[in-house]
Chains A and B, each alone.
Chain A
Amino acid sequence: MSASNPSSHDALSVAQDWQSDGRKIALATVVETWGSAPRPAGSQLVIDDEGNFEGSVSGGCVEGAVVFEAVDAIESGVPKMLEFGVADETAWEVGLSCGGRIRIYVEPVTD
């Protein structure tokens, strides 16, 4: 957390800017962690429908997969829950190799 500069580059500030620019966006939020997950619950990522993103939900480990799912959520308009962890072979491939598990809630932003 960059406490000294809370509101310039964080996901929600960027989300508001992108939304007012007319971009279609989604938010991804870490809702639960187990073990040595890299980012705590509440960490957020904002994603637009072209796959641009700002913020962090895992320090780089699973952002790629989250962005892919978020673009899908923007199209469908339906929130979804993602889970990543070492027990899951796919998750291992996308790289949460620190041994932790995380659940991430992905939701489209509506007008």
Chain B
Amino acid sequence: MQATLISEINEARAKRRPVAVVTGLGDHAQRLVTADNAGGDPLGEAISNRFRSGKSGIVTDENGEHFIQVYVPPPRLVIIGAVHISQALAPMARSCNFDVTVIDPRTAFATPERFAETKLIADWPEDVLKDAPLDAYTALAALTHDPKIDDIPLKAALEAGCFYVGALGSRKTHAKRAARLMEVGITQSQMDGIDAPIGMDIGAANPAEIAVAVLARVIEALRKAPLEQVAAA
């Protein structure tokens, strides 16, 4: 492997861009493939599938064996709202290897005491997301039920193709939310992709149980229907 290839891979990883290195195991030839140029690659379909699954492996064609090494960004969970559910959800998600960020502009909620081990940003989501944009390898859970705080990141998550988008609130709250978001350009099919009422239906009865229900849905989205949007991202 050439040293320049290693720096290109590392640069892509730092920017959370999925890349693949294809190595001919017979001729030792190597090439870098990005999500943008996978379509033109002879192994494009196999590479795109591996971008979705995040799994590296060997494919065999008439030219022999090729090893496709994919580097996909680690999954992130962005939680909007430093609320009670978030206090339970953040550590559980971290133990499942998610890179967790909690965002809430309300400084009464977003205190280090309430979120000791968690990356917590006491600012408006729209300002935070400007510097750290959402992507297909990110899940977003909006938990404030305040439209002023939740709506903009929900719209951003749908537009970025986040692999999971969930929003807390009753069916009635969600219907109002749908009306607002569709006025600003979100389609019905995008709205249908939101997990609302949030979380798997396990009869969750308190914040910690709701956190379990939400995390179950996030993991399901990651593992069972992974990253459908990533090729387009």
Cβ–Cβ contact B10 & A12, under 8 A: yes
Cβ–Cβ contact B1 & A110, under 8 A: yes
Q: Is A86 an interface residue (CB 8 A)?
A: no
Cβ–Cβ contact A31 & B67, under 8 A: yes
Please report the total number of B residues contacting A with Cβ < 8 Å: 28
Q: Which residues of A26-41 have CB atoms within 8 Å of chain B's CB atoms?
A: 27, 29, 31-32, 40-41
Q: Which residues of B82-107 have CB atoms within 8 Å of chain A's CB atoms?
A: 94, 97-100
State the Cβ distance, A43 to closest chain B Cβ, in Å: 9
Q: Is B70 an interface residue (CB 8 A)?
A: yes
Interface 0/1 of B59-76, CB less than 8 Å to A: 000000001011101110
Cβ–Cβ contact A107 & B69, under 8 A: no
Q: Which residues of B12-66 have CB atoms within 8 Å of chain A's CB atoms?
A: 13-14, 23, 25, 28, 55-58
Cβ–Cβ contact B74 & A1, under 8 A: yes
Cβ-defined partner of A15 (8 Å) among B6, B94, B97: B6
User: Can you list the 7 inter-chain pairs with the closest CB atoms, starting with the nearest?
Assistant: A42-B56, A3-B74, A3-B97, A31-B67, A41-B56, A19-B3, A6-B74
- Kindly list chain A residues whose C-beta atoms are within 8 Å of the C-beta of B10: 7, 12-13, 16
Assuming the contacts A3-B97, A4-B98, A110-B2, asked whether A105 and B7 have C-beta atoms less than 8 A apart, the reply is no
Query: Which partner residue on chain B sits nearest A81 by CB separation?
Result: B25
Cβ–Cβ contact B75 & A109, under 8 A: no
State the Cβ distance, A22 to closest chain B Cβ, in Å: 11
The answer for the CA separation of A2 and B99 in the assembled complex, in Å, is: 9
State the Cβ distance, A6 to closest chain B Cβ, in Å: 5
6 new A-B contacts at CB < 8 Å, known A3-B75, A42-B57, A42-B69: A1-B97, A4-B98, A32-B58, A41-B67, A105-B23, A111-B2
Q: List A residues at the B interface (Cβ < 8 Å).
A: 1-4, 6-7, 12-13, 15-16, 19, 27, 29, 31-32, 40-42, 79, 81, 105, 107-111
State the Cβ distance, B77 to closest chain A Cβ, in Å: 10
In the complex, the number of residue pairs spanning A and B with C-beta atoms less than 8 Å apart equals 74
- Kindly list chain A residues whose C-beta atoms are within 8 Å of the C-beta of B154: none
- Kindly list chain B residues whose C-beta atoms are within 8 Å of the C-beta of A3: 74-75, 97-99
Most chain A C-beta atoms within 10 Å of own C-beta, residue among B1, B23, B98: B1
Cβ-defined partner of B1 (8 Å) among A1, A2, A31, A109: A109
The answer for the CA separation of A45 and B56 in the assembled complex, in Å, is: 15
- Kindly list chain B residues whose C-beta atoms are within 8 Å of the C-beta of A41: 55-58, 67
- Kindly list chain B residues whose C-beta atoms are within 8 Å of the C-beta of A7: 10, 13-14
Most chain A C-beta atoms within 10 Å of own C-beta, residue among B6, B23, B55, B99: B6
Query: Which partner residue on chain B sits nearest A19 by CB separation?
Result: B3
- Kindly list chain A residues whose C-beta atoms are within 8 Å of the C-beta of B2: 109-111
Cβ–Cβ contact A6 & B13, under 8 A: yes
Query: Which partner residue on chain B sits nearest A13 by CB separation?
Result: B10
- Kindly list chain B residues whose C-beta atoms are within 8 Å of the C-beta of A16: 3, 6-7, 10
- Kindly list chain B residues whose C-beta atoms are within 8 Å of the C-beta of A32: 57-58
- Kindly list chain A residues whose C-beta atoms are within 8 Å of the C-beta of B74: 1, 3-4, 6
State the Cβ distance, B214 to closest chain A Cβ, in Å: 18
- Kindly list chain B residues whose C-beta atoms are within 8 Å of the C-beta of A79: 28
